[in-house]
Amino acid sequence: MSTTLLKLHTPPQVPLETEVISPTSLSGLSESGIEHLQVMHGNVKAKLGDFFKVTGKGGSDIHLEGDLSNVKMIGTGMSTGKITIDGDVGMHVGMGMSGGEILVHGDAGDWVGPEMSGGRIVVKGNAGHMVGSAYRGQPAGISGGEIFIYGNAKNEIGNSMRRGFIAIGGNAGDFTGVNMLAGTIIVAGEMGIRTGAGMKRGTIASLQSAPMLPTFEYSCTYHPLFLRFYLIRLQENGFRRIIQDKHLNGKYKRYSGDGIELNRGEVLLFAR
């Protein structure tokens, strides 16, 4: 499989919107074809080649190098292939993707994988707010796929998610799984306040204790077998140091909620 290398030679002065960087858009294009793809540099139309040096023709394996923290919308709507980013990446990475994989060897900005329906995003560093969430005004967030953040993530992880799997290796901000419709969120570190506010169904699990809203009711302390399989899968995907055997075999406190909504969601907090 040939690799398409995009190396940042001129950092953008203002945010650069590059939804064209995806295997679907690049496939079959020559080096100069890729360099001529249109991007938005603030309010000015520009070419991808104005910022990136392209090596290799367009294929399903894309490598990006450089500090892309001001580059937004990489991998928008991708359905296949792989994007590897060596460095930090800006907002909206993997927006609405339906398949393939995005690997970020650095930090990601806000809105990682918003409204994705399939595929996988792995962020080795930290992520911003709104990981795997809905855009403002949208009724549902992600409807499938996996997002793995090795570091910390900020507020509103999985806002209104309908399906899918989000795992955070570090700590989470407030309102994890807010208005969640279904799906699974696992946070290895500490969660902020108001976890699961307004959730209808779905599972939020944490390996630490967490403050619960008054509308969540304690159900029992038990060993959820299904969680073991999720955790094993995470161990196999780079979370080995964080997830220990005691977490696989231990008991979890189960809270059901949100009482204001359907009360069919659950929050599982590691007990012992």
Which stretches of the chain bind other proteins, using CB under 8 A?
13-15, 17, 40-45, 70, 91, 110-111, 129-130, 135-137, 174-175, 178, 193-194, 197, 211-217, 259-260, 263
Smallest separation, CB 166 to other proteins (Å): 19
Pick the closest to residue 43 from 17, 11, 69 (CA basis): 17
Smallest separation, CB 222 to other proteins (Å): 20
Give the nearer residue to other proteins in terms of CB position, either 2 or 13: 13
14 CB-contact burial (10 Å; exposed 0-12 / middle 13-18 / buried 19+): exposed
Structure tokens at 239: 């979370």
Give the nearer residue to other proteins in terms of CB position, either 56 or 77: 77
Smallest separation, CB 17 to other proteins (Å): 8
Q: How many CB atoms lie within 10 A of CB 119?
A: 24
Give the nearer residue to other proteins in terms of CB position, either 72 or 82: 72
For residues 270 and 207, give the distance between their C-alpha atoms in angstroms, rounded to a whole number: 5
For residues 250 and 31, give the distance between their C-alpha atoms in angstroms, rounded to a whole number: 53
Give the nearer residue to other proteins in terms of CB position, either 28 or 137: 137
Give the nearer residue to other proteins in terms of CB position, either 84 or 215: 215
Give the nearer residue to other proteins in terms of CB position, either 69 or 80: 69
For residues 15 and 22, give the distance between their C-alpha atoms in angstroms, rounded to a whole number: 18
Residue type, 173: G
Give the nearer residue to other proteins in terms of CB position, either 262 or 271: 262
Smallest separation, CB 130 to other proteins (Å): 7
Q: What is the 3-class SS of 87-107, one letter each residue?
A: CCECCCCCCCCCCCEEEECCC
Q: What angle do CA 217, 261, 247 make, to 5 degrees?
A: 45
Smallest separation, CB 243 to other proteins (Å): 29
For residues 139 and 131, give the distance between their C-alpha atoms in angstroms, rounded to a whole number: 16
CB 100 within 8 A of CB 81: yes
Strand partners of residue 27: none
Smallest separation, CB 175 to other proteins (Å): 6
**134 secondary structure, DSSP code:** P
Structure tokens at 13: 């002065």
Smallest separation, CB 74 to other proteins (Å): 15
